[in-house]
Each structure stands twice: as C-alpha cells, then as structure tokens.
Structure 1
Amino acid sequence: MRFSRTSALTALAVLAGIAQGVGSAGTAWADAPHQLDLPGYSHLVVDASHGHVFVSGGPDSTDIAVADLDGAQVGTVDDESGATSMALSPDGGTLYVALPGSDAVSAVDTATLTETARYSTGSGPQDDPHYLAYAGGLLWFGYGSQGQGGIGSIDVEGPRPTVSLDGGLWYAAPLLASDPAVPGTLVAGEVDTSRATLKVYDVSSGVPVTTASQADGGPGLEDLAITPDGKDVVVAAHAPYHQVFKLTDLSPDGQLATAYSASSVAVAPDGTIAAGVSYATPDLFVFRPGTTTPLHSFDVSSDDGYLTLPDAGLAWDPDGSRLFGVTDDAYNGVVELHVVPEPLKAASRLTVHGPEYGFGYPYLPLTLTGQLTSDDPYAAGQVLHVTRTDPAGPDGVPLADVAVAADGSFEVTDTPTVSGDHTYTVTYAGDSGHAEDTERVLIPVGKAPAQVPLDGPADAPRGSVVTITGSLTSSPDAPFAPGQSVKISRVDASGTTSLPDVRAAADGTFSFADTPQIGGINNYKAAYAGDVSHVAAVSNHEVDVSRSATTVTVTTNATHYPNGATAKITAHLGTTYNGRTLSVYAQPDGGMKTLLKTATVDAHGNLAVGYRVTGRTEISAEFTGDYRYGPATAATTIW
C-alpha cells in the first residue's frame, strides 16, 4: 500500500462530499509500509537520539517492536508482556512502559534495549496502569478499570523511586498528555464515556492541582496532545472529531476540519498538527500551527477497510522532519509502520509510461514518457534523475538527467544493449515546496520477431522465368539496419539448391528470379538469420512447375481364370525423362491394396509380374513421375 497526499482544497472537497477517491495518483510516503512482529497495536514513541521508533502491541503482546527511523523493524524489547502506553524520559535515556496486566511500569534503557527497573503500581484489580506522561519531574500514569480510575505518579528521579495514587477520582483510567515545551502541565481525559471530562493540572509541585475542567470533551475520547506554545490542547474524539480547547480554561478554541471517528492527534515541536481518523478517506490531515484548514491530507487505510489508522497511531520525529503512522488490522493481527518525510511539502506525483507496446529491443532506442504533477505549481526548470537496472548493470546505471517541460511532461530515451528485464527509476528530488517522489517502470527487452513472407505465381511452365517477391518485416515495428541479407534456396525433386542471397531494400522489400528445370513442386525458401535486435525468420512459397504427360498400361494374359490360377500381368511405361520405375498393385474385392512389385521397366518399357487369382481383383500400375514427366496410372480387372 502506498500513501497518497492531497491538497487542502481537495481534502476539504472530500469532507464536503464533493470529491471521491482522492489521492490515487501519487504518493508522499518514502517507502512501502513495514510490517511489525506484533499481534496488535497500542502506542508508539519516537526516540530520535538513538534512531528508534518503539511500538507496543497491547494485551496480547509479549515484546515491544523496535524500528529504525525508516520504519523497518530492527529488534525488540523482550519480556514486556501486555505493554500499552509509553513515555520517554526528558533526557531520552529511558523508555517507560505501562504493563497493566502486571500492575507495573517498567523502565527500559534506550541504548541497550533492556529493562532496568520495574515499578509496582499496586496489587489490586484497580491498580493497573494504562496511560503514561512525563511532566514536572515525575512519571504520571492513568490507572484503573471501568468504574474506578485515577492518576498516579512515580518519582523515578529520586534516590528511592516512590509510587503515589490519588485514590481513584475518574470513571476509568484517564488518558494523559504532556509536552516538554510546557513543563509542569498535565492534561487528563476520560475515556469510554459518552461525554469525556477533561482536566488540566499544574503538577510542578509534584501534587496535581486542577487549573481547568471541561465536562464535555466529546464522546469516545481517543487521544490528546498539547500544543508546544502552551495555548491549546487538541482532542481526538468520535464527535466533534478534532476539537481544540484553550489550555488555560478548557473553553473551546476551534475545531480542525477533519472527519468523523477521530482516532489520533500528534503535535510537532513547531506546533504542526497531525490529525488522524478511522474509516474515512482521506484519514490523515496536517495543519500548520494555529490553523484549522488542512494543508495536506493523506489516504492511509487499505481499500478493504480492515487496515486502519488506530487510536494514538501518530508520532512526530522531534525535529518535525518526519511523521510516523501505524495502521492496524485488528481482525488479522497485522500492524504496519509508515514514514512520511517532509509532511509540510506538497505532494509530487510522478507517472511514467513505457513504450507503446510495453517492451523494447536491444540496440533500438526506446522512449519513456511521463508527467510530474502537484497540487502546488512548480517553478520552471525542474529536473529528474534516471537510472537503468538491467542484466548488464544490476547495480544501476545513471542516465542523463531529464528536463521537465512547462506542462510537467518529460521523455526519457535510452538504447538497451542486452536482453532481459530493464527497470527505469525516475526520481524527483523535491524542492523547497514539494516532496520528493520516485516512480519505476519495468520494460522487458528482447529480440523482436521478424517475418520474411514470400509471394509469387502458384504454377509455371518448366523452363520459364519465375519471379518471387518478399519483404523483411517486424511486428510490432522494430526497424532493421540497412542492407539486411536473406538467404534463398529451392527444394525440388532433385533436392535442395542454394540460390544467390538477396539484400532487403530500405523498406524491407526484395525479389529474385529463377528458371526451374525440374517439374513438380518447387519450394522456394527465404531464411533471415536475425541480428542483435531481431530473431531469425523463415518462410517459403511453392510453385507447381508443369511436366509432360506419359502413358501407363496394364494387360493380362486372360480375363477369366480358374480359382487358384496364376495371371501373367504386363505393365508398360511410355516415354519419360529420368524415371523408369513402375509399381504394380492388386486389390481383391473387399480386400486391401497390395504391392506386387516395384522395379525398373525393361528396354521395351515393360514390367512383368505374376498373381494367383482367388476372385475378382483390380490390377493397377503407377508411375510417380520424374523431372519432366508427370505421374500416370492405369488399371484393369480380372476374375
């Protein structure tokens, strides 16, 4: 699956029900998604200093997946059963992991990827931690289950870490959010309710002090994020989707133009907001700081509707250069990690098309055509980089850069030198306002088929001049080098005779003349040996050359014979050229035709043979013809 990016105008059109199927033309994602070895999804955290993305798998998981910043899994944090929410320490050296099934929070060294400590949050059924946030020098966690939840803290920086619980003042374990740019502030939100309560706490003293409260943060709260300017908290809920509240008093401060069933929100250090929704197209939106209209939107989910953007499924690289997203197929246990580079840039969409017939030929130029488009106009003078990968250059051969025309079109011309699959990779490196994009096209290259059809008379008198015409062609059209040679031969009753080679004209046509001296079928054959770009080809044309007639007779010494008597048969052959052989056959009524004798006639043209008569029988004689006289037969009946 490839993510595609759309402009703000297109995204708003989709939201308004004006456009359908947005973004199918291009991609903004650097690579294809990377599947992670997890049974499900819960949370992700980016540790840029160590080049890692941590992804937890929820109650059915045993480990935490560790991916690199390109999205590929490179390891695991073992023995973290049921891991859910995670949080990094301010110095990035420790990853804290909520383990609700163990009533504990673990500490993982981000350099060695091993657990270094585990803090118990209690032993009762309501003490399991679900959500983590680091603020005011303490690690805070939302704990409990439906009917009784609360907020606890762990003094992980003290000489003897201590755990404190607030006694359970929430309906369920509250969702927590903090931001290092707003120290001492903690936001909590109620999940699994029809009207989510939101609260802002000042935790700078180590004790949470409520500074703002909102009784209706929307039904189905899924995610929270604080803007780094300390002005707002953005809420992802089922309705009214992505709502913004002032951090000072939690009064409404706008609503992001996304879609129903909001699932995720993440805020970059510069205040750029990524907002995700489930089961909508598009389902990921990017907003510049302080705006409510999306700059770009992305189509993340799969077409089958199972692979979707889950709750809390987004995270930024701390420098804002990349956005990480997770898609989760809860039905089939598939979790994928995606990376989008430069999410504030407009999408670049490359399309590349191969030659008309979809394949090429060695040593014959082929042309690729394509288009570079974007919802935001390009400056003039855009350039594309092209490489070719083929059997002779499996590591890739750079070709000349290609200029993009004012209308976005371009052409790539290349001349393959070997047969086999050729992959052409066309890359646009991007500019200050446009993301990079790469497109590949596979062109099979092999020798072109060739044809050498012949045409001429169907028959001719012996000794007359016969003219045969032909043409050297290829379909589809793969031009030939000038002066191609075609071998000509004739097959007749005497055998095969080579005739002079002919050369095809510039248009591929050729002709030759012959004077056949042997009657019967003369088969003229044209053979093209092929070249570096074309396969061999053969064709033929038959001419029936006339022959003179001769006579064959059959006589017997009687017409009627007693049963078992021997008939004396004489077959006679008239004038011929170089063939004096007759064959004599007998075929009784209702029986098989049987050869009695094949032999050369005597000096008088006769061939004698005896036959024992047992009933009515047809006696026949056959001459198969020679170079100048055609076949002849005769028959008589005896009984």
Structure 2
Amino acid sequence: MFTAIGLSAGELLTAAPAAAEPAAPLKSVGTQLPVDDLRAIELDEARGRLYIAQGVGGGLPLVVTDLDGRLLNRVTAVADISDLVLSDDGRILYAAQDFNRIVALDAATLTVIASYPAPPGAHLYTVEPTGDKVVGGFIDAGIGSGGLLVWSAPGIPPVVYTEGPNYHPIIDASPGAPGLLVAGDTGYSPVSTYVIDVAGDSPRIVGRRDHTGSNLIDYAVSPDGTEVVETVGYPYEHHSYRLPDLADATVYPSGVYPQDAAWSADSSTVAIGRASTATGDADVYLYAKGSTVPTYAVDFRNGDSLWEGTLLVNRDGTRAWAVSSTDPYQETQLLHSFGPAHPPKPPVTDLAVTAQVGSGKDKSVAQLTVTWSSPIGDDNYWWITASTNGGAEREFWRGKLDASRRYTLTYSLPRGTTTFTVRYRDYWQFYPDGYATAALQR
C-alpha cells in the first residue's frame, strides 16, 4: 500500500537540488622562464624548486628555478636533457640525456651519481622510475622498433621490451602502484593503453584496452595508484581508467581539445589542461578526484597556449603550475602559478605619458614620451589624442606596446591648454582598459 502525495510544480522545483556551477576562471599572466627552450618540467615541492629540461642538441643545461620561476642554478654539467622526473622518495632526479642514457642526480646537490646507458639503435627520450626499476621509452634508431628499456640497476644492461607500445611510447607510473607502468604509443591512432608489470625479471602486460582515443598526448597516473587519466586529441574530454584492469572510471569534462593532466601528490585533485581556448574560457580546470564539476579554473589570454606536459600540482591540490607560449614556434615559455591558496598573477595595464614644451624656436612644439610596462606584445596598441581648451579629442598617433617600452613623438601646440590622453583597450578584453594624461599650456 502506498500514499499519493501531491506537489505543485513550484514545490517540485524548490525541492530539487540545484546543479553545481563550474568555477568562473581567474585570469593569469605568465612570467618568462630563464630558459632558451623547454622540453620537460618537474616539481620538487620539498626543496622549493622547479627543474627544467631544455632539449637535446644545443648543449643547453638543466635549469633550476624557485617555485615562482626565478633562476636558482644552471647545472652546466648536465646538458642536453629531453625528460626528467623526481623519484618517489624525492632523493633522486632522473634525466634522459643526449638520447642515449639516463642519468641519476642527487636531488640535494644536483651531482650525477649513476648512469644507465641505452643500447645502440635505441633513441631514448623519456624516463620513469617505478618500484626498484628505472624505465625509459625509446624510438627506433636502428634497433628494429620502438619500445621500453627496463633497468634493474645502473651498470646492468636493460631489458629491451617491445611487446607493448613499440613505436613512440608515452609512459607514466605512480608511488601507489610500485612496479606498474602505464604506456601507449603516440604518433598513430587509435590508441591502445597498456598496464605493464615491470617488477620481475621479464615485463608482462596485466591490463590492455584498445581504442581509447586518437592522438595520444599524455598519461597521468594518480599517486595512490588507483586510476590513470588519459590525454588524447579525441574525444574532447579526459577519460580516466581504473588500475590495473583499465575499467571505466571518471570522465573529467574538457569540452575542447585536451592538452594535459596532472595529479596532486595526495591524489585529491586532478588538473585538466585544455587547448584552443578563447579569452574567458578556462585553460586549466582543477577537479576533485571523482568529480565532474571543476572547483577552480584559470584562463590565459587568447593566443597564449598551454604547453603539453607542463601541468604540475602540489601535494594537497592548493597550488598548480603550467607553462604557456604566446607564439606558434614556442619561443616564449611563460610560467603560470595558481590555485585555491595561490592567486594567479593578474593582468595589469601600465601606461603613462609625459609632455614638455620645447625651447627657443621649438617652444610651440610639445615633446611627448609614451611609456608602458604591461601589456607587452605586437598585437597590443596604444593611441594618443589631443584636446585644446576642453574641445573634442583628436587622435593623432598610435603605436605598438612592443618590447621597447617607450615611444617619443611631437605635436604642434595651438594657443591655450592642450590635454594629451594615451589609451589602451584590449580587443580580447583580457587586460583592463588603461589611460594616462598630461597637459601643456601655451
């Protein structure tokens, strides 16, 4: 037996729980890193450091900055690095060097303490420790295929493993699942994702899932070892899979082309990176593990694109880092730092104008100097107007807010009081409007 209860439409609407609203994105302006190139970045929160690899071939050294991107050290003894990662206990920094070896550095002193040479014909470019093994990903340079190199110790030849990904492997591991490695090939589609146990003498596949997407970019295994977030070009969302069976877990919405993912060390928070976003549209979301509604969002300026593989999150998910670039050739490397406990660096418009009357025969000519410190960029323009005795403003010049930060010009002064106003307005409405004035009497 049951009792019917009548509710009006208004009462039903009142009783229904409100849907959670996603966080409104905060604006972030990056700070140029002290590097010439960038291939990988790693967080050492305990020591207050970021480690940056600048790539192979140019002799560029390992760069160490503080957590705000200020230079601490250039480790010239360790150059030509394509990838780097901190060991689970934070004592060793592993670096893939010169495409032919992995070096282990004492993280406290940044001195080399061990080397893991790759066999001839293996073009080694990435590194990941798991359990008591060190694993490198390689592409074919004469050895016959791509695959994985698994070292048990320095000085011992690695196991060459090609039964999983064997073209251009992407790999990740977790302290919560020692001895397990998540791997897949980038460079062709559809993607097959593998979970490989490398703890024994011979690696073995313990999980495999085919057709997990197209154009693999990255894997991010949660530090508790329970799931892996996959970043692929399609579909336009970040799928996560349980470990080790790769069953469906949470789908973290992206809405646009996925670009990156990273976890906090306590596995409470996952950062999701997005590509091809516009101003006002988040470049990075922070999600609580298992949630589909972001708790935090940050927006870079239009044309400022997240660099793949650069998302980092601190231990408890209260601060994150990312690198972006403002040009298609990635000649800028802008560090963003943001999070619930660390507000991002906001956009600021700083613009000024000074004016003085010339002397002698030039006393009827105004000498004007326009200066600026932010924003800087060839797609940003200032313009200047003149108004005499309260009359209408007339624009008479405009210029770029370029790296010179200064422009001088002249203006023929009529009799009376002339007010000069320099203005800036961001077409994308990311930077605030700015203006400054100066007045002269003739």
Give the TM-score taking structure 1 as reference length. Answer: 0.47
Q: Please, what is the CA RMSD of the aligned residues?
A: 3.5
Aligned-partner Cα distance in 2 for 1:122–1:209: 21
> Whose RCO is larger (CA < 8 A, sep 6+)?
2
Q: Which residue in 1 is equivalent to 2:389?
A: none
What is the Cα deviation at residue 319 of structure 1?
A: 4.5
**Residues 476-499 of structure 1: CA distance to partner in whole angstroms, max 9, x if unpaired?**
xxxxxxxxxxxxxxxxxxxxxxxx
Letter in 2 for 1:84: S
Note closer, same or farther for the CA distance 1:111–1:342 as it changes in structure 2 (3 Å cut): same
What is the Cα deviation at residue 203 of structure 1?
A: 2.6
Note closer, same or farther for the CA distance 1:66–1:81 as it changes in structure 2 (3 Å cut): same
Q: 1:345-384, aligned counterparts within 5 Å?
A: none
Specify the SS of the correspondent of 2:253.
Answer: coil
Note closer, same or farther for the CA distance 1:211–1:322 as it changes in structure 2 (3 Å cut): same
Note closer, same or farther for the CA distance 1:162–1:342 as it changes in structure 2 (3 Å cut): farther
Instruction: Tell me which of 42, 50, 55 is aligned to 1:58.
Output: 55
Q: 1:492-507, aligned counterparts within 5 Å?
A: none
Note closer, same or farther for the CA distance 1:112–1:194 as it changes in structure 2 (3 Å cut): same
Aligned-partner Cα distance in 1 for 2:46–2:123: 30
Aligned-partner Cα distance in 2 for 1:255–1:283: 18
Size of the alignment, in residue pairs?
331
Q: 1:262-273, aligned counterparts within 5 Å?
A: 262-271=258-267, 272-273=269-270
**Residues 130-187 of structure 1: CA distance to partner in whole angstroms, max 9, x if unpaired?**
221111211111111498211111223x6x4442212465342311111112222211
Aligned-partner Cα distance in 1 for 2:253–2:264: 18
**Residues 297-319 of structure 1: CA distance to partner in whole angstroms, max 9, x if unpaired?**
1113x43x2x4212111112235
What is the Cα deviation at residue 200 of structure 1?
A: 0.6
Q: Which residue in 1 is equivalent to 2:382?
A: none
1:182 corresponds to 2:177: yes
Note closer, same or farther for the CA distance 1:190–1:205 as it changes in structure 2 (3 Å cut): same
Q: 1:460-499, aligned counterparts within 5 Å?
A: none
Q: Which residue in 1 is equivalent to 2:111?
A: 114
Q: Which residue in 2 is equivalent to 1:459?
A: none
**Residues 91-111 of structure 1: CA distance to partner in whole angstroms, max 9, x if unpaired?**
322211112x44111222222
What is the Cα deviation at residue 268 of structure 1?
A: 0.8
Aligned-partner Cα distance in 2 for 1:44–1:236: 18
Percent identity between matched residues is: 26
Aligned-partner Cα distance in 2 for 1:213–1:129: 24
Q: 1:539-550, aligned counterparts within 5 Å?
A: none
Note closer, same or farther for the CA distance 1:151–1:332 as it changes in structure 2 (3 Å cut): closer
Q: Which residue in 2 is equivalent to 1:244?
A: 240
1:309 corresponds to 2:309: no
CA contact (8 A) 2:307 2:322 kept: no
What is the Cα deviation at residue 67 of structure 1?
A: 0.9
Specify the SS of the correspondent of 1:183.
Answer: coil
CA contact (8 A) 1:148 1:168 kept: no
Aligned-partner Cα distance in 1 for 2:262–2:37: 20
Q: 1:498-577, aligned counterparts within 5 Å?
A: none
What is the Cα deviation at residue 196 of structure 1?
A: 1.3
Specify the SS of the correspondent of 1:69.
Answer: coil
CA contact (8 A) 2:175 2:225 kept: no
Q: 1:342-421, aligned counterparts within 5 Å?
A: 342=340
Q: Which residue in 2 is equivalent to 1:153?
A: 150
Note closer, same or farther for the CA distance 1:9–1:251 as it changes in structure 2 (3 Å cut): same
CA contact (8 A) 2:174 2:224 kept: no
Structure 1, gaps ≥5 residues long:
1-7, 12-21, 353-639
Aligned-partner Cα distance in 1 for 2:347–2:260: 30
What is the Cα deviation at residue 48 of structure 1?
A: 2.1
Q: Which residue in 1 is equivalent to 2:251?
A: 255
Instruction: Tell me which of 21, 42, 45 is aligned to 1:45.
Output: 42
Aligned-partner Cα distance in 2 for 1:236–1:268: 17
What is the Cα deviation at residue 330 of structure 1?
A: 5.0
What is the Cα deviation at residue 346 of structure 1?
A: 9.2
Aligned-partner Cα distance in 2 for 1:276–1:145: 30
Q: Which contiguous aligned blocks of 4+ residues in structure 1 show a shift greater than 4 angstroms?
A: 345-352
Q: Which residue in 2 is equivalent to 1:276?
A: 273
Aligned-partner Cα distance in 1 for 2:54–2:347: 36
CA contact (8 A) 1:213 1:249 kept: yes
**Residues 389-445 of structure 1: CA distance to partner in whole angstroms, max 9, x if unpaired?**
xxxxxxxxxxxxxxxxxxxxxxxxxxxxxxxxxxxxxxxxxxxxxxxxxxxxxxxxx
**Residues 374-399 of structure 1: CA distance to partner in whole angstroms, max 9, x if unpaired?**
xxxxxxxxxxxxxxxxxxxxxxxxxx
Aligned-partner Cα distance in 2 for 1:340–1:43: 19
CA contact (8 A) 1:264 1:276 kept: yes
Aligned-partner Cα distance in 1 for 2:347–2:219: 36
Q: Which has the larger radius of gyration?
A: 1
CA contact (8 A) 2:82 2:99 kept: no
Note closer, same or farther for the CA distance 1:260–1:52 as it changes in structure 2 (3 Å cut): same
Q: Which residue in 2 is equivalent to 1:295?
A: 295
Aligned-partner Cα distance in 1 for 2:99–2:248: 38
1:322 corresponds to 2:334: no
Note closer, same or farther for the CA distance 1:219–1:336 as it changes in structure 2 (3 Å cut): same
Letter in 1 for 2:288: R
What is the Cα deviation at residue 228 of structure 1?
A: 3.1
Q: Which residue in 1 is equivalent to 2:31?
A: 34
CA contact (8 A) 1:136 1:205 kept: no
1:68 corresponds to 2:63: no
Compare 134-143 and 51-60 and name the one that shifted more.
51-60
Q: Which residue in 1 is equivalent to 2:416?
A: none
Aligned-partner Cα distance in 1 for 2:264–2:40: 17
Q: 1:588-599, aligned counterparts within 5 Å?
A: none
Letter in 1 for 2:265: P
Give the TM-score taking structure 2 as reference length. Answer: 0.66
Letter in 1 for 2:260: S
CA contact (8 A) 2:102 2:127 kept: no
